[in-house]
Structures are given as C-alpha cells and as structure tokens.
C-alpha cells in the first residue's frame, strides 16, 4: 500500500490530509505534528461562557476553499455571518474613533460623497484621493510596493491614514515593504483594465449590485462555536491517521520516495507534504537542498500578540456600533487594531457581556504588560473602565509571513525548484501563496493532489 505523510496539522496540513483521504481511500495517510493539539494558530478556547480565538476569528467567503471544506465536513448549518453593524469599522484619528467611510475599499473611495464628508482625511487629502480617476496609468512590469502604489494613485495622506492601518490589520507589515502583486493584485488589475482603481471598483460594484463597504464584513464567516469547530471536525474525520506530539526532525531521499525521522522512528513514504511555516520547511529541506532552504528561511516573518478581554456586562462606549478599529502608525499608539468580537459575531460572550481582542505589534515583554497596554488603549479609545473578568494573551512569534516586493517571483522560483529537485515532496502552508485561511486550505489541497498524482503515476 502506498503511503503519503503530511507534516504539520495546521489548516494546510489538515486540508492536505483530508484531500488525500477523500481522493484515495486505499492510500495510507499519516498526518504528524510536534504540537499537542491540531490547528496551529487557529483554534478557540471556551472560558466562563466566552469564545476566545487563538488566531483568526473568521474567513473570507469570496475565496471558496474554507466554505467548501466546511460543507464537506458537514458544517454548513454551523456557519455564521457577521452581525449587522451601523458603522462597520473605525479608524483612529487624533485619539478618537471615526467611522470608516461608507463604500471605502482598502484604498479606493467608491462612494465619493461619503468619502468627501469623512473627517479622517484633511480636505486636501480627500481631494487628492478623489483625483485618482485622473492619475496617469503606469502599469509597471516590475513589482511595486503597496505603499508606492497607494501613494502615487491616491496620495500620501490616504496611505498613512487609511491604507496603512487596514493593510497592517491583514498582513501585520508596512505597506512600503509589501508586494502589491502578492497581496492585493486586484487593485493593479483595475489600474490596467480601467486606468483607475476607483472607476474599476465602482464599475464592478454596479455590475454585482453589491454594497461595497469598508472592509467588506458581509463577506466574512465563522462558526457558531468559533473556529475550533472546523479544526475539531477535521480531526474527527482523520481519526487515527493523525499523530500529535511527534516531531519530524529529518528528511532524506529513499529510493523513489522519501524517508522521515518522526518521533525517533524512520517512516518511509511514497510522497510527503510539508504543510509547515517557511522556516520549518527550511530546516527540513536545507540539508538536502541548501539553496532552497536558504530561500525559504529568507522569507521575513513578523510577530504580534493578541490580548482578549471579557466582561460579564456592557463595557464599551455604548455609542460604538461597529466591529472594531484600526490604528494608523502615525498615531504613535502601542496597539495596531482591536476587534469587538461580541459585536462582530454571535455567541462570543455570555448574554449581556462583551468580548474584545486587542492586537499589539511585536513581542510584549510579559503577559501582564500586554494586558495593561490593551486595557489602557481601550480606556483611552473606547471609554472602557470596567475590570475584565477574563484576560488571555496569545503570542504569534515570527508567525506572519511578509510578502515583500518581488515575493511572487521568489515564491514561484521556490515552488518550481522544489518540484524539480525534490520529487515526491510538496510544499503547503502560508509562506508562499497566501496568508488567509482559504489560502492555507487551498495550499494544502493543491499540494496533496500534486503528491497523489506523482504516487499514482509512479514518477520519481
């Protein structure tokens, strides 16, 4: 019987394992992970009636991989959408929370009237952004940073006050370091297609009949009991094929296949899927292919911490009717964003209670310091003075890949080199082709299908 080993039981690894089981029932599938629990950074802790997310609290349904996986696992009736909110999200300006303009899409003011009335930008900044429709089309062949793109099309102020904090909330990185092609290619596409990002997005919104709003919260979904619901269903489906608490420490060629050292034993495989962060992939592949390992290890990663606070009674300023806020870097504050989790999703706090997650850049010196910083930020920005009944800190150290300018070409080179030099080894995870939950799931599925095709064909 042929065997495929998946290393890593985060969402990419779980997705890869499930794809192999579904597509080849007679195949021996083994999924291993050094951690004691599956899911990687994704998961939910339930405490005193609160649902506290370890990592991402939902997923974008515009990319179908996550919603399709949920359906395959029988979870369609447990998918929930964001609650309705008047303001969507807020942006900090001079220490105050201001609603994101209606119809604002990351960088483009699709609803011009609402944008021109918003005080987030100065009158001059609003006018400069509105004139994007007249900006010359550049369409460079080389990659460009997201910051450079926004600056030349919409102006410096829109970049600093809106695009930077919104991009940081997704990628945790400076827009001047982020590749436009690898992170937000749709905006480059609109410049090429229409000569204007604003006109292109307006035209698409008219055709779809969509109410384009801020960060498009209507396209987000989660589960009634949190993201752990998806992890638990995947773990149950994999059953005894999943081995936790065992680390893969070495990878060698073995005939036409490969051999792994897993938990002190040698495990031969006809193919391997490495569903790991890029640095972990580098450590396994480096001894075999030093250049490939070095390229993977060179992908920069950022760190952040989340502080989740819960109250058994209302705590936020009652005038706030939105999902949270983002903080421009130029505000000089210690936080970069916050999510009002119990306003965004149903079932995240006991009746009458509230749950908030505050995002801090980098690595706080201690959990106590992180909690104190988060409480001070909520006190200053959202009038929260009540003592929380729960506080939980999650650290994500070098967990967020930064897709720098040129990343798309580098990722393609790594993928092609791995395919050519390491037959029967496939790469998944979020280091190469997308950082979101649907991207991670899709990466696992794609790698699993490629590995399966090689096993079935008998190609070395």
- Residue 126: pLDDT over 50: yes
Per the prediction, the chain carries an average pLDDT of 94
Determine the pLDDT at residue 459: 55
Tokens of 229: 């619901």
Domains and CATH numbers, the chain: 3-34+245-299+403-457 (3.50.50.60), 44-85+301-401 (3.90.660.20), 103-213 (1.10.3110.10)
Tokens of 179: 């590749």
Determine the pLDDT at residue 141: 75
Confidence band, pLDDT 50/70/90 cuts, at residue 1: confident
Determine the pLDDT at residue 6: 98
pLDDT, average across residues 93-112: 92
- Residue 29: pLDDT over 80: yes
Determine the pLDDT at residue 211: 47
Determine the pLDDT at residue 106: 84
Confidence band, pLDDT 50/70/90 cuts, at residue 105: confident
Determine the pLDDT at residue 217: 57
273-312: pLDDT as tens digits: 999 999 999 999 999 999 999 999 999 999 999 999 999 9
Determine the pLDDT at residue 298: 97
- Residue 150: pLDDT over 80: yes
Q: What's the CA gap between 88 and 83, in Å, rounded?
A: 10
Determine the pLDDT at residue 142: 85
Confidence band, pLDDT 50/70/90 cuts, at residue 216: low
pLDDT, average across residues 60-68: 95
Q: What's the CA gap between 395 and 105, in Å, rounded?
A: 29
Which residues neighbour 381 within 8 Å (Cβ) at sequence distance 6 or greater? 92, 95, 96, 97, 325, 338
Confidence band, pLDDT 50/70/90 cuts, at residue 107: confident
228-240: pLDDT as tens digits: 999 999 999 999 9
- Residue 215: pLDDT over 80: no
- Residue 384: pLDDT over 80: yes
pLDDT, average across residues 130-137: 94
Task: State which H helix or E strand residue 233 sits in.
Answer: helix 228-238
Greatest pairwise CA separation for the chain in angstroms: 69
Confidence band, pLDDT 50/70/90 cuts, at residue 212: very low
Q: pLDDT > 90: what percent of the chain?
A: 87
Determine the pLDDT at residue 210: 52
**Residue that has been written with the tokens 């436009």 in this structure:** 180
Question: What is the strand order of the sheet 390-401 is part of?
Answer: 96-99, 90-93, 324-326, 337-339, 354-361, 301-311, 390-401
- Residue 393: pLDDT over 70: yes
Q: With contact defined as beta carbons under 8 Å apart, do 262 and 248 qualify?
A: yes
């Amino acid at each position: 019987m042929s065997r495929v080993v998946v290393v890593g039981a985060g969402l990419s690894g779980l997705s890869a394992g499930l794809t192999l089981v579904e597509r080849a029932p007679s195949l021996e599938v083994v999924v291993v992970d050094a951690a004691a629990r599956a899911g990687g950074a994704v998961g939910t802790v339930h405490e005193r009636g609160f649902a506290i997310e370890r990592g991402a609290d939902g997923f974008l349904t515009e990319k179908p991989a996550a919603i399709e996986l949920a359906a395959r696992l029988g979870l369609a009736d447990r998918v929930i959408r964001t609650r309705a909110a008047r303001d969507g999200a807020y942006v900090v300006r001079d220490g105050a929370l201001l609603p994101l303009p209606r119809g604002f899409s990351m960088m483009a003011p699709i609803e011009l009237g609402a944008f021109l009335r918003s005080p987030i930008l100065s009158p001059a900044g609003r006018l400069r952004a509105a004139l994007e429709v007249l900006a010359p089309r550049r369409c460079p062949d080389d990659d460009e940073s997201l910051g450079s793109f926004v600056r030349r099309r919409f102006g410096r102020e829109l970049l600093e006050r809106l695009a930077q904090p919104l991009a940081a909330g997704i990628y945790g990185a400076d827009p001047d370091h982020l590749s436009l092609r690898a992170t937000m290619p749709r905006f480059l596409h609109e410049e090429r297609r229409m000569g204007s990002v604003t006109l292109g997005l307006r035209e698409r919104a008219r055709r779809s009949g969509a109410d384009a709003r801020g960060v498009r919260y209507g396209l987000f979904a989660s589960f009634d009991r949190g993201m752990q619901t998806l992890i638990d269903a995947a773990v149950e489906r994999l059953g005894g094929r999943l081995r936790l608490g065992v680390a893969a420490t070495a990878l060698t060629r073995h005939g036409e296949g490969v051999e792994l050292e897993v938990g002190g034993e040698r495990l031969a495989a006809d193919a391997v899927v490495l569903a790991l962060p890029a640095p972990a992939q580098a450590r396994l592949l480096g001894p075999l292919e030093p250049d490939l390992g070095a390229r993977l290890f060179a992908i920069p990663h950022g760190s952040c911490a989340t502080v989740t606070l819960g109250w058994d009674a209302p705590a936020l300023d009652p005038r706030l009717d939105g999902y949270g806020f983002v903080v421009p870097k130029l505000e000089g504050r210690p936080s970069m964003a916050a999510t009002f989790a119990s306003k965004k999703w149903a079932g995240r706090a006991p009746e009458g209670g509230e749950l908030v997650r505050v995002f801090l850049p980098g690595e706080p010196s201690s959990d106590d310091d992180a909690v104190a910083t988060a409480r001070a930020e909520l006190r200053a920005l959202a009038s929260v003075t009540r003592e929380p009944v729960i506080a939980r800190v999650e650290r994500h150290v070098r967990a967020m890949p930064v897709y720098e300018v040129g990343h798309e070409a580098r990722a393609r080179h790594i993928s092609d080199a791995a395919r050519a030099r390491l037959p029967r080894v496939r790469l998944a995870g979020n280091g190469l082709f997308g950082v979101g939950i649907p991207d991670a799931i899709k990466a696992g599925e794609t790698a699993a299908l490629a590995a399966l095709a090689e096993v079935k064909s008998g190609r070395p």
